Amino acid sequence: MPSLVIRSEHRRSPRIWGILAVLGFASACATNPATGKREFSLVSEGQEIQMGQQGKQDVLRSMAVHPDSTLQRYVSSLGMAMARKSERPELPWSFVVLEDPVVNAFALPGGPIFITRGILTHMTSEAELVSVLGHEMGHVTARHSARQMSQQQLASVGLMAGMIISPQIAKFGEAASQGLGLLFLKFGRGDELQADELGFKYMLQENYDPREMASMFQTLDRMRGDEGGRVPEWQSTHPDPGNRVANTEQRITALNRSLAGLTVDRDEFLTRTNGLLFGENPREGFFEGTTFHHPELRFRFDFPSGWKTVNQTQQVAGVSSAQDAMISITLAGNAAPSTVLQQFLGQQGIQAGRTSSSAINGLPAALGEFRAQTEQGVLAGVIGFLSHNGSTYKIMAYTPEPRASQYGNLFQQAIGSVRPETDTRVLNIKPNRVRIVNLPRAMTVAQFNQAYPSVIPLAQLALINGVAEGDTFPAGSKVKRVVVE
C-alpha cells in the first residue's frame, strides 16, 4: 500500500504533524478473502469475529427467536452447506430465524446471519431462501462490515486529530463519532453488487436455480406498490445497486449453460413454512391509532395523539412529533411499585421531585417526578410503576428540562390512561397464518381467492405467491392463502 508522501519543499505545519502522529498506525492492508484484492483494514479477523459474536448476543437479547426448532434446523442446514464451501469456511457461522414480521435479513461481522419470519412468508421456494442467505454470506466473506468499521475508525482518528489541534470542538467529538458510525456502517452500492455476485455463486455451487434470485428481487421490488408503498426493511438497509433483476439475468446469460434440472424445491419450502404467522402477531400487542392493546398481558395504554409509536420485544414506546419527548413501557419485575420507585429515584444522578402512591384505574401504582443529569443535558419527566396480574410495569416519560412544563400534563394523562383490558374483541384476537392449499384444478388468482378466501388483498395474495394478479395456478400446485386461526 503506498505510503503518505509530503513533498520536501513544503514545510510541515504543527497541524500536519499532529495528524500524521495520530494516523501513523493506519497503514494496514489485508487481503479480501472473497476477491483476493488488497484492501485497507484496521480490523483483524479475530476482532471481526468477536464483534460479530457480541452483536449476535445483542440481537438475541432484543429480538425473539422463531420458536419452531425444525424450521431453524432447516434454514441453518441450507446456510451451513454454502458456508462450508465459501472462502471462509472456518468462521463461526450461524443462521437464525427471528420471530419478526418485517421483511428483512442481515449479517453481522464474522458469521452470524439472521433472517426474519416476515421475509420467509414472502418467499416461494427453497432456492429463493438460499439466494438471500447467500447474499448475506457475501457481506461476511468479503468483510464488508470490517472494511466499513475500518473507515469509521479512520474517520474517528481524523476527528481526534482535529480535536488535538482544535480543542474547542472536542465537546462535539462523541456525538460526531456516533454519527460517522451510523454513516459508514451502511453498505454502499459496490458492496451490494459484490454480495449479489457472491450469493449468485454460492447458490449455483449448491446446484440451485439462480433464476430464483431474480424472482426474489422482483418480489422485493413489488412490495413498494403492492403493499401500500411500504419499502421492505431489507431494501432500506441494503441500498439498491441498480436493477438487481437485470443484473441477475445478465449473470445467467453469461453462464452460457442450460439451467434445466437445477434445484428450486418450491413444494419442500412451502411445506416447511406452512402455518407461519403472517404479519404482526396481535397476541404480542398491537396499536389501534395511538392506543396500545396487549391481549396476553391484558392491559391497554393511550399514547398522546400524533406521536410515533413502536412495539418492540423489550418495550413499547412513543416519540413526540417534534422528537423532543418520549414515553416507554417496560416490565420491571414483580416488586411493589413503591419499592421500585424509591430504587429508581435513589440512583446517582437522579434528583427526585414530588411522589405519590395511589391506584390508577384500580391498579396499585407509585409515581414520581425526576430530573436526570446526562451527557447531553438535563432530562426531566415522570416515572410510574404499576402492578397488574402479578407483574410490575415501568412507564417513563421524559423530555429536555426546558420543555418539562410543556409536556407535564401530557405525561400525567398518558400514565393515567393505563387500565386493564376488558374488550373481548381484543382479548380473543388471533393472528393471521399462512396455509398451503393443494389445488385440485387450475385456477386464476381471483378464482383461488374466491374458493379459498384470504384475509389479505388480492394484490398481496398474488405477491406472496410470486405471481401477477391475472396469472393462473396450475392444477396440483401448492398455493398460499392467509387465514385467521
pLDDT in tens, 343-382: 999 998 899 999 999 999 999 999 999 999 887 789 999 9
Domain limits, the chain: 1-273, 289-426, 431-484
pLDDT at 176: 32
161, 20 Cβ separation under 8 angstroms: no
pLDDT at 43: 73
pLDDT at 38: 66
Closest to 265 measured CA to CA, from 206, 200, 201: 206
Query: What residues pair up with 438 in beta bridges, in sequence order?
Result: 478
pLDDT at 314: 83
pLDDT at 28: 52
pTM for this one?
0.79
- Please write the tens of the pLDDT for every residue from 183-211: 334 567 788 899 999 999 999 999 999 99
pLDDT at 25: 40
Query: What residues pair up with 386 in beta bridges, in sequence order?
Result: 365, 393
Instruction: Decide the pairing of beta strands 105-107 and 112-116.
Output: antiparallel
Instruction: Decide the pairing of beta strands 377-388 and 94-98.
Output: unpaired
Judged on CB neighbours under 10 Å (0-12, 13-18, 19+), 349 is exposed
CATH code, residues 289-426: 3.40.1000.10
433, 485 Cβ separation under 8 angstroms: yes
Q: Is 31 in a helix, a strand, or coil?
A: strand
Judged on CB neighbours under 10 Å (0-12, 13-18, 19+), 9 is exposed
Q: Which residues of the chain have pLDDT under 70?
A: 1-31, 35-36, 38-42, 147-187, 225-231, 233, 236-237, 239, 241-242
The Cα 145–Cα 73 span in angstroms is: 26
The Cα 368–Cα 149 span in angstroms is: 42
